[in-house]
Amino acid sequence: MTNVRTSGSVAADCVPASFDGLGLHPDDLPHGLVVADDSGRVTCFNAAAARITAVRPGEALGRPLESALPLEDLDGRRWWALTDPYGGLATRIGQPERNLLLPGGRQVLVSARYIRPRPGGPVVRLVIQLRGTEARRRTERSHAELIATVAHELRSPLTSVKGFTATLLAKWERFTDDQKRLMLETVDADADRVTRLIAELLDISRIDSGRLELRRQPVDMAAAVRRNVEARTRAGQPADRFEIKVADSLPPLWADPDKIDQVLGNLLENAVRHGEGRVTIEVSPALIKARTEGTAVTVSDEGPGIPEESMGRVFTRFWRGSKRGGTGLGLYIVKGIVEAHGGTITVGRAVKGGAQFRFTLPVGAPAFLSQG
Ligand SMILES: Nc1ncnc2c1ncn2[C@@H]1O[C@H](COP(=O)(O)OP(=O)(O)OP(=O)(O)O)[C@@H](O)[C@H]1O
Ligand SMILES: [Mg+2]
């Protein structure tokens, strides 16, 4: 009887040899596990099952399934009578996961395997997995929140586009050319904002579903930094706002050049928009893991920086720290792109007090080159 724990949730015959061989116990499983024998009596009711159902293992063990686990579907039909695992179709090997109810309205996600030693033979054991519904409800809530935020973000620029165009159409004659130009410029900027937001949302959906495609080729990181800084100065930033420091020798880097531009563009824009003073960009070799070399890029500014307590949140979707913030998607996308390259990104405090973002990328050379 060495397999029986003091919790009494598991009968001795519930612990198959393979479980035992692994040093595993049914109570170690994260999900609820209920096993019934060939007559439908419960032989195992682990700790998670007890937590999810609020039924004490002592009450369940040895009892028929229908009374130990009186599940009903959402229409109130008795689940065991409906599915009839022991008497039903002999080809059936289980039940996919369903949302079922216990007395009192407690929701449980239930799936089952019918163990038949030979195909079409009688069921000798019924293995049932139970999961609580909190995790699923949490994802549903976060989806609902995402939709609400996206709708809100799209509505404000569209309200302005609609407002200005309607006003112009209704009262065209009454405005001077300058007033019309001002309104059209606002409409133009807001339409750009919507387009950009949609592009960001598409990036996010690719990142979240692991579909971000990388077209890797050799990338000269120092040149990419210079190009991005030039783009900023051409757009009106004074040239002395930026300082570029590049180490003498850098390891090779295979990456997606467009995505690297997106990362640098976002970090530079943040440093200019949210930071102050001089923005320093350093490119240097880095040790990613013991003996794995790569490239590190650090972007520091001299602004207020990011408060210690918010550092954990800057890379989350829609988080923005100040009123000057945009949609709060920039850093989430940056992190997604860096990680898709196998790299990492961190945030910290710069020497002069501003924010400092540092990302590292492994060499990333295609396999046929690194084998040679
Ligand atoms: N260099 C920085 N200095 C101070 N705060 C920063 C800096 N970079 C980012 N932040 C803070 O982190 C927040 C999130 O940045 P993120 O780039 O994700 O979004 P955003 O810039 O607000 O909007 P978006 O990039 O989507 O237009 C910003 O709103 C800002 O408060
Ligand atoms: Mg940003």
CATH number at residue 315: 3.30.565.10
Does the beta carbon of 334 lie inside 6 Å of ligand 1? no
> How far is Cα 142 from Cα 133, in angstroms, rounded to an integer?
14
231 and 307 in a single domain? The answer is yes
Residues 259 and 189 in one domain: no
What does R_g of the chain's alpha carbons equal in angstroms?
A: 30
Q: Is residue 1 part of a domain?
A: no
pLDDT score of 191: 95
Cβ of 336 closer than 6 Å to ligand 1, yes or no, is no
What pLDDT sits at residue 9? 56
In this structure, are 231 and 331 located in the same domain?
Answer: yes
User: Is there a single domain that holds both residue 176 and residue 227?
Assistant: no
pLDDT in tens, 33-62: 999 999 999 999 999 999 999 999 999 999
* 234 shares its domain with 365: yes
43 and 99, same domain (yes or no): yes
My answer on whether 234 and 333 are in the same domain is yes
The pTM is what?
0.70
Q: Which residues contact 344 (CB under 8 A, 6 or more apart)?
A: 288, 338, 359, 360
Q: Which atom of ligand 1 is nearest to the CA of 331?
A: 18
- pLDDT (tens digit, 9 = 90+) per residue, 169-218? 999 999 999 999 999 999 999 999 999 899 999 999 999 888 899 999 99
* pLDDT attached to residue 275: 93
In the chain, which residue ranges form alpha helices assigned H by DSSP? 17-21, 47-53, 57-60, 65-68, 79-83, 134-171, 177-208, 221-234, 257-273, 330-340, 367-370
| pLDDT at residue 138 in the model | 86
Residue 244 lies in a domain: yes
What CATH number does the domain containing 76 carry? Answer: 3.30.450.20
Is there an atom of ligand 1 within 6 Å of 353 CB? no
Structural domain span for residue 165 = 137-208
Do 358 and 228 lie in one domain? The reply is yes
**pLDDT the model gives residue 3:** 43
Q: Which residues of the chain have pLDDT under 50?
A: 1-8, 12, 372
Q: Is residue 5 part of a domain?
A: no
Give the rounded percent of residues in the chain with a pLDDT score beyond 70. Answer: 93
The best mutation among 232, 314, 338 to test binding of ligand 1, ranked by most ligand atoms within 8 Å of the C-beta, falls on 314
Last residue of a domain, one of 208, 243, 265: 208
For residues 92 and 194, state if they share a domain. Answer: no
Ligand 1 near 193 CB (within 6 A): no
Q: Number of structural domains, the chain?
A: 3
Q: How far apart are CA 339 and CA 295, in angstroms?
A: 14
Q: Is 3 a member of any domain?
A: no
